[in-house]
């Protein structure tokens, strides 16, 4: 089989995969970057080859605020334990948003059995869980926000009414999260409309990537997003809110050589018996107000709900 004696055929096979594949040498410098890696991360080969993964290029890592690298880096663990490691990590996409990925870090050995590099594969964490409920086909029906392409106010209110109906009939718990971008008007005045729109799109992608495919996130108003979490009790709601806050404040855009971010506030509440859309949203607004200004404000889950598991 002479075709398979050509090493280039194996590069073509790797490039044809729908997952990302990278190879790092023992100094954590990137020596291989597949087509799938380019598509998932937004970084081309020319951007990453020869660079260290700590240069805000590879998975989850931006050196200064990387949660995964604090003793949990799958590559370092695979190298230390000399065996494959499976993990869920984060990618800081070139466009600025964060997205979860399912990844394997696998030691690469030479013919003598010595480890010479680490192979890392990664794919979008939600790609294997089905399509997003925020289907882009809604665009043609006027259900999506023009800037973020998330469901708009009317669509989110419809989802909220549906969830309340299910809760009243079957007691399936759910919660809502309200996220507010602080001083969006000042950001827009200082950097311009396009910068503000770009920042909102990055936040929208980050929020969408923080939740399950069965949940909903939409643009509620100019400076607010609304998230509806199905099957979510108060404890799970608090955990999701805090994770969402951490990711949102780390979302960035590059604008004329400057890295920009925004401060956000989060308020959350779980559905309770007798709730209407107005009472539920009022509690989320009150939780948002209690948090006060500042990017370090903690998410709050006000009121309770029937306990339910949420992995």
Do 167 and 71 reside in the same domain of the chain? no
Residue 2 pLDDT: 59
Q: Which residue has the tokens 């979860």?
A: 100
Is 249 a member of any domain? yes
Strands 85-92 and 30-33: unpaired
Task: Quote the domain boundaries for residue 42.
Answer: 2-128
Do 141 and 62 reside in the same domain of the chain? no
Residue 278 pLDDT: 95
pLDDT tens string 3-57: 666 777 777 888 778 789 999 998 888 999 999 888 888 889 998 898 887 665 5
Do 116 and 12 reside in the same domain of the chain? yes
Do 158 and 281 reside in the same domain of the chain? yes
Do 82 and 142 reside in the same domain of the chain? no
Locate 299 and state its tokens.
């998410």
Give the residue among 252, 159, 263 at the shortest CA–CA distance from 211. 159
Strands 20-25 and 216-221: unpaired
Is 310 a member of any domain? no
Do 100 and 189 reside in the same domain of the chain? no
Is 272 a member of any domain? yes
Do 165 and 290 reside in the same domain of the chain? yes
- How many Å apart are CA 128 and CA 131, to the nearest integer? 9
Which among 128, 151, 168 is the end of a domain?
Answer: 128
- How many Å apart are CA 181 and CA 201, to the nearest integer? 12
Residue 233 pLDDT: 82
Which CATH number is 39's domain given?
3.30.450.20
pLDDT tens string 268-292: 999 999 999 999 999 999 999 887 6
Which among 70, 103, 128 is the end of a domain?
Answer: 128
């Amino acid at each position: 089989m002479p075709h398979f004696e050509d090493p280039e055929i194996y590069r073509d096979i790797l490039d044809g995969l729908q997952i990302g594949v990278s190879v790092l040498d023992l100094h954590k410098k990137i020596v291989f970057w597949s087509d799938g890696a380019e598509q998932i991360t937004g970084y081309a080969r020319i951007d990453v080859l020869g660079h260290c993964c700590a240069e805000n290029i590879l998975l989850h890592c931006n050196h200064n605020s990387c949660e995964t690298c604090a003793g949990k880096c799958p590559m370092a663990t695979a190298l230390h334990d000399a065996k494959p490691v499976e993990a869920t990590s984060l990618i800081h996409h070139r466009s600025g948003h964060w997205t979860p990925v399912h990844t394997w870090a696998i030691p690469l050995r030479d013919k003598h059995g010595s480890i010479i590099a680490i192979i890392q594969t990664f794919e979008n964490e939600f790609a294997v869980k089905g399509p997003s409920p925020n289907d882009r086909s809604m665009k043609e029906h006027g259900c999506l926000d023009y800037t973020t392409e998330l469901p708009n106010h009317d669509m989110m209110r419809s989802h909220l009414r549906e969830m309340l109906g299910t809760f009243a009939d079957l007691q399936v718990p759910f919660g809502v999260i309200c996220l507010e971008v602080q001083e969006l008007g000042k950001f827009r005045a200082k950097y311009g409309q396009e910068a503000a729109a770009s920042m909102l799109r990055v936040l929208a992608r980050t929020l969408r990537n923080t939740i399950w495919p069965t949940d909903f996130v939409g643009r509620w108003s100019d400076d607010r997003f609304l998230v509806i979490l199905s099957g979510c009790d108060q404890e799970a709601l608090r955990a999701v809110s805090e994770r969402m806050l951490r990711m949102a404040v780390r979302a960035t855009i590059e604008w004329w050589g400057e890295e920009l971010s925004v401060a956000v506030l989060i308020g959350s509440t779980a559905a309770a018996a007798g709730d209407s859309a107005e009472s539920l949203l009022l509690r989320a607004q009150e939780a948002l107000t209690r948090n006060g200004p500042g990017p370090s404000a903690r998410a709050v889950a006000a009121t309770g709900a029937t306990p339910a598991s949420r992995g």
